Amino acid sequence: MNNKEGTKDRLLTFISYLRIRKSEFERRCSLSNGYINSIKGDIGLQKLMNMTSAFPQLNPYWVATGKGEMIRAVGGQPHSFETAPEHQNDLMTTRSNRELSFEEKYDQLLKILTEIQQRDEFNQNRIATLSETIKMKEDQINRLLHLVDKLNYNHSTQPVELQ
């Protein structure tokens, strides 16, 4: 494989290998229409994860670097187009007694990054919820302070209207 080939060229090679249209690849990977044509350099991690989720046989290390094989092998057998994703972890368990290859380490890193992104998204949502709760509490405090000011101002015997 020509390592000087860009990410876009590698993806076009893979799409050609699948014998599908770019638009079909983009649809399956949850990419916008025309995304493949718009690639100028590297692609982001989320896009790469979308691609490898839709096409588990696609080697993410090859997409990112041009090194290694385009098609990942699992359990000594090449992935087929129909191979189920539940076999993706077979490599990790079958090779646990020896050092992992660079591609396997890369796959593990992608998995860790995915988990970190999911935790980050959860934390961001939690922060947004807590921020909204704080804002509501601040509004309540401000209303109470306003009532206290009103009570202090109207310290005469006149009844005070509380709102």
Instruction: Tell whether the model's pLDDT for residue 57 goes beyond 60.
Output: yes
Where is pLDDT greater, at 85 or 120?
120
Q: Is the pTM of this model over 0.75?
A: no
Dump pLDDT digits (tens) for 67-117: 889 998 654 444 444 333 433 444 444 444 457 787 778 888 888 887 788
Cβ–Cβ < 8 Å for 97, 68: no
**CATH number of this structure's domain 7-96, picked from the four choices 1.10.10, 1.10.260, 1.10.3470, 1.10.600:** 1.10.260
Q: Tokens for 11? A: 């993806």
Tokens 């590297």 belong to which residue? 42
Q: Residue 80: which of 160, 133, 18, 153 has the closest Cα? A: 18
Asked whether the beta carbons of 64 and 71 are under 8 A apart, the reply is: no
- Please tell me the number of Cα atoms within 13 Å of 157 on its side-chain side: 0
Please report the pLDDT score of residue 160 as a whole number.
56
- Report the alpha-carbon angle 50-110-21, nearest 5: 25
Q: Domain residue spans in the chain?
A: 7-96
C-alpha dihedral over 136, 140, 145, 150, to 10 degrees? 130
